[in-house]
Amino acid sequence: MSTSPHTAQLTSQCAYAKMPPELWDAVFTHISDKPTLAACTLLSWRALIPAQRHLFRTLDVYDTKRHPAYTVAAFLDLLRALPLPAEIGPNEVVSPVQYVQHLTMMGGGASDVYVSLGADDVAQVLAKLPALRKLELAGILLEPSKTREIHTDAALDVLILCDVRCALRTREVALSDACGLVDTLRLFHSITTLRITSVSSSSPSPDAPLGLAPSLEGLHVGKLVYRPYSLFSRSPEDSALLSRLTSVHFISLKVFPSAHVGPFLRAIGPRLLELELAQGVMECHSVPLALPALTHLTIHERIPDRRYADDVDLLLRYTSPLALPPSLTHLTLTVCIAKMGYDLLFWDDLREFAWATLDGRLVELAGVRSATVGGLGGGERDRRKDLEGAV
C-alpha cells in the first residue's frame, strides 16, 4: 500500500512536533546564524521556546541618540519591567531577553561620549538575566552605587571593561571607598576572566588618595588581562587602578606595558600561580622572583636592534636560576628581534641571538619540567636554522 505525498508530509510534520524541547535545544546549540534561528521558531510549537532561547544568546546594545528607543537606558527600562526569575510561575512565559548569555553595552561611539551606568543598574542586569555568562562594557561611565549595601553574589565567565571611566561619589572620599569600578566588582564573587583596557577616573587628580579596596577581598578572579590606561604615556591612572585590585584573589595574570606593574605584582605575589608578560615590559622581568607560588611564566619580548646587546644580556640575566622562583615548573619565552626603518618595521634574522647561552641557562633550571622557546626573524629557512639550537 503506497503512501501519498500529502500523507508523508503530514507524518514529517508530526515527527517535528513530537521532538522534545531538549533535542531542539541540542540542535540549536550548533546554529549561530540569527536569521536561521529566527526561521526555526516557525518549525513547531515545541521548537519555538528553544529557538528563542538561542536567538537571544548574544545581545549587543549600542547607545545612539538617533533612535531614543534603542539606547542603554531603554534597555534598562525593559529589564525593570520584567519579573525576577524566581517570580516566574511554571506556566508563565519567560521573556526571550532573559535567555541572554553574552551582553555588550556600548556608549555612543565617540571618544568624548560616555553613557552613565550605575552599579545599581549592573545589579539589575545580573538579577534579571540569570543565564548571563559574559558582560562587556565599552564607552561607559560607571557610577557608584546609590545604596551602600548592594550584593548579588553573581558569577561570570568573562567581564570586559574597555574605555570605561569610573566616577567618584565625592572628591573628598577615597577612590577605594566610592568608585564605580569597585562598586561594580563588588557585585561578583567570582569571574573566570577579567579584561581591563583603558579604565580611568572621570576626574583624575594627582593628589587623590590611593588606598586599597578591602571590600574586594571576597572576589576571586581566574585570570586578569590588564592593559594600561595609555600604551604610550605612563599615566598615574595605572597606579590608582591597580592599587584597587591588590585585594582581589588572582590565579593568572597577563599584563601589558605599564610603569606601575611591578608594585602590583609584588602585592599579589603570594597568590599568583601564572604570569604572562607582554612585549615591552622588560623592566618587570625581575619581578617573578618575588612570586613564591608562581608555576607558569610566559614572556613575550621584542628587542630593537639598537638596544640588542643590552636587552639580550638583560633577558639572559632574567632567565637565570637566581632570577626565577623555585616553584616554577613551566617557562615559555618568545623573542623577536625588530629592526626599525624610517617608514616600516621588519624582522631581522636571529642568527646572532645567543641561543646556545640561553640553552645553557635553561638547562640549569632544575625545577622546570617544560621550557618552550620561540623566535621571529628573517625568512622561514633562516628561522628554522636559528631555532636548531633552541630548547
Per-residue pLDDT tens listing for the chain (391 residues): 455 555 544 455 555 666 776 777 777 776 777 777 677 777 766 777 777 777 778 888 888 766 666 788 889 998 998 888 888 777 777 787 888 899 999 886 555 568 889 889 999 999 999 889 999 999 888 888 876 666 667 889 999 998 888 876 554 444 444 578 888 888 998 999 999 887 777 665 544 444 556 678 788 999 999 887 655 445 566 677 777 788 888 899 888 766 567 778 878 888 889 988 876 555 555 566 678 888 888 887 776 655 555 566 667 777 777 778 888 888 888 777 665 543 334 444 444 556 677 777 777 776 777 777 776 554 444 443 343 344 3
Q: Are residues 216 and 290 in the same domain?
A: no
Q: How far is CA 94 from CA 31, 195, 207, 359, in A?
A: 21, 31, 50, 61
Same domain, 341 and 295: yes
Report if residue 8 sits inside a domain: no
> Which pTM does this prediction carry?
0.77
Instruction: Round to the nearest angstrom and report the end-to-end CA distance of the chain.
Output: 73
In a shared domain, residues 79 and 140 = yes
Provide the pLDDT for residue 307. Answer: 53
Q: What phi and psi, each to the nearest 5 degrees, are found at residue 371?
A: -130, 125
Same domain as 385, residue 374: yes
Note whether 240 and 310 are same-domain residues: no
The single residue listed with the C-alpha cell 540569527 is 34
Same domain, 44 and 79: no
Do the beta carbons of residue 173 and residue 141 sit within 8 Å? no
Q: Where a domain ends, among 225, 249, 272?
A: 272
Q: Is residue 90 part of a domain?
A: no
Residues 250 and 136 in one domain: yes
Choose one of 232, 253, 272: the last residue of a domain.
272
Beta bridge partners of 340: 345
Which residues in 341-372 are b (16+ Cβ under 10 Å) and which e? eeeeeebbbbeebbbeebeebbeebeebeebe
> Side chain identity at 370, as an amino acid letter?
S
Does 259 map to a domain?
yes
Contact partners, residue 257, CB within 8 Å, separation at least 6: 228, 231, 278, 279, 280, 281
| Alpha carbon 196 to its chain's center | 7
Phi and psi angles of residue 335, each rounded to the nearest 5 degrees, phi first? -125, 135
Of 272, 297, 327, which one is at a domain's C-terminal end? 272
Query: Please, which residues have CB within 8 angstroms of residue 374's CB and are 6 or more apart in sequence?
Result: 333, 334, 335, 387, 390
Residue ranges making up the domain that contains 303: 277-391
User: Is residue 244 domain-shared with residue 156, that is, in the same domain?
Assistant: yes
- CA-based max dimension of the chain: 91
Q: Quick check: is 115 in a domain?
A: yes
Q: Are β-strands 274-277 and 249-255 bridged in parallel, bridged antiparallel, or unpaired?
A: parallel
Alpha-carbon dihedral sign for residues 204, 208, 214, 220:
positive
- Residue 6 in any domain: the answer is no
CATH of the domain at 68: 3.80.10
In terms of domains, do 164 and 119 share one? yes
Q: In terms of domains, do 258 and 316 share one?
A: no
Claim to verify: residue 62 and residue 184 sit in the same structural domain: yes
Please check whether residue 11 lies inside any domain of the structure.
Answer: no
Q: Which residues pair with 115 in a beta bridge?
A: 140
Q: What is the per-residue pLDDT for 110?
A: 52
In a domain, 211, yes or no: yes
* Same domain assignment for residues 254 and 297: no
Task: Answer yes or no: is 3 within a domain.
Answer: no
Query: How many domains are contained in the chain?
Result: 3
